[in-house]
Structure 1
Amino acid sequence: MSTSVPLTPERILEAAEETLRRFGPAKTTVVDVARALGVSHGSVYRHFPTKADLRDAVVDRWLQRMHPALAAVADGAGPAPERLRLLLWTLAETKWERAQDDPEFFSAFAELAEDARAPVVAHIDFVVARLTQVTAEGVARGEIASADPEATARALFDATARFHHPAGRSAWVRPRIDASFEGVWDLLRTGLLPRDSG
């Protein structure tokens, strides 16, 4: 088994995604991924020493694709409360769309993510850091009341989990989920606003 195209981690991950999409996590093996690439499974193991490493890399790659859009919102202009809403909305809507457009891989991702703790924790930390950034800016400008922007950011993430955690995907039916998000956000936004001192 040989190929003229260099075997790179990126090619392996592309093949792994396609294999997972077809067979699901339970039935996918490193041998299946290697076969799809036309290489030996030993060649795959040179890049990913274990099956768990390969699975973690697939989950990490999928989650990393969301980060540029989230960073763009965090670094954007406008009032902090509205940017927080847009950050959470972008996170949720991206997952809703992927669950609908590619249900086979989304189901595989959801199953893998339960065991891929390091990539999932890194993703959550990334999102919370962006929420913290915007919350802190809002506090500095008097738009948000928070004694601890990071704690507030984690609370926002946790409070909206049903809209972005894969375990909640059975409820992601539009337009009902959109209205539900807006209802939750209205409550959260009210809690973020500074109170009149007088």
Structure 2
Amino acid sequence: MPPEPLTPDRILEATEDVLRRYGPAKATVVDVARALGVSHGSVYRHFASKAALREAVTERWLAQSHAALSALADAQGPAEGRLREWLTALFEAKRRKAGDDPELFAMYMVLVGENSTTVERHMETMIEQLARIIEGGVGEGEFRPVEPTTAARAVWDASNRFHDPAYAPEWSRPGIETAFEAVCDLVLRGLHA
């Protein structure tokens, strides 16, 4: 049986495994190549640098959240419920990632510290989804007239404690759900018509 072809997806899967095993500080492209049974040059043919490989792993990891949240943003129904559900899903996804996959979460933290374009694109995607919910609420008269993108950025900033990885140590503390609900309530009262 011929060996499985080396594809970007295979490399990314192997990179995730290597990152989980060694952590983001110690994982190397050579480790990834060794896990795949290829030379490190073969990996570099698909990803020009270690930084590009790390960005691609993070982008893939974040994209898993995008699809679920996008479905909530585009769902039918009252905007208030969709906005609360979207914020709750984001918070739960971030907590799950921090708790269930700490090595990849650590990689994400490294990229946040490096001002990664992947992280910037992720934030813009999240704000665009929020803006769609808000725009729908304004259109239905549920929310007061606001510029959707500006309001979405305000919601993103107001809920920062519940999705910014810098706050991850707080996400398992007692009372965090109560604090989250209080922020959601405040945000929604501010948007209501």
Range class of TM-score, shorter chain = over 0.9
Residue 107 of structure 1: how far off its partner (Å): 2.1
Distance 2:63 2:164 in 1: 15
- Once structures 1 and 2 are overlaid, which stretch shifts more, 106-115 or 15-24? 106-115
Distance 2:27 2:111 in 1: 11
Q: SS at 2:172's partner residue?
A: coil
Counterpart code for 1:137: G
Residue 146 of structure 1: how far off its partner (Å): 3.4
After superposition, the Cα gap between the structure-2 partners of 1:162 and 1:110, relative to the gap in structure 1 and judged at 3 Å, is same
Residue 175 of structure 1: how far off its partner (Å): 5.3
Unaligned runs of 5+ in 1: none
Give the corresponding residue for 1:41. 40
- 1:79 is the counterpart of 2:84: no
Distance 1:47 1:60 in 2: 15
Give the corresponding residue for 2:96. 97
Distance 1:121 1:174 in 2: 28
Unaligned runs of 5+ in 2: none
**Partners of 2:131 and 2:149 within 8 A in 1:** yes
Equivalences, count? 192
Distance 1:21 1:109 in 2: 13
- Once structures 1 and 2 are overlaid, which stretch shifts more, 84-93 or 98-107? 98-107
Residue 85 of structure 1: how far off its partner (Å): 1.2
Residue 114 of structure 1: how far off its partner (Å): 2.5
Query: Could you state the TM-score of these two structures normalised by the residue count of structure 2?
Result: 0.94
Residue 12 of structure 1: how far off its partner (Å): 0.4
Q: SS at 1:81's partner residue?
A: helix
1:87-131: CA deviation from partner (whole Å, max 9, x where unpaired): 111111101012112223322332233226211111111111111
Distance 1:50 1:166 in 2: 25
1:63-106: CA deviation from partner (whole Å, max 9, x where unpaired): 00101111110111221111111111111110101211222332
**Partners of 1:19 and 1:32 within 8 A in 2:** yes
Give the corresponding residue for 1:181. 180
Q: SS at 1:66's partner residue?
A: helix
Counterpart code for 1:32: D
Percent sequence identity over aligned pairs: 51
**Partners of 1:129 and 1:150 within 8 A in 2:** yes
Residue 174 of structure 1: how far off its partner (Å): 5.6
Counterpart code for 1:189: L
After superposition, the Cα gap between the structure-2 partners of 1:73 and 1:175, relative to the gap in structure 1 and judged at 3 Å, is farther
Q: SS at 2:189's partner residue?
A: helix
Distance 2:34 2:114 in 1: 25
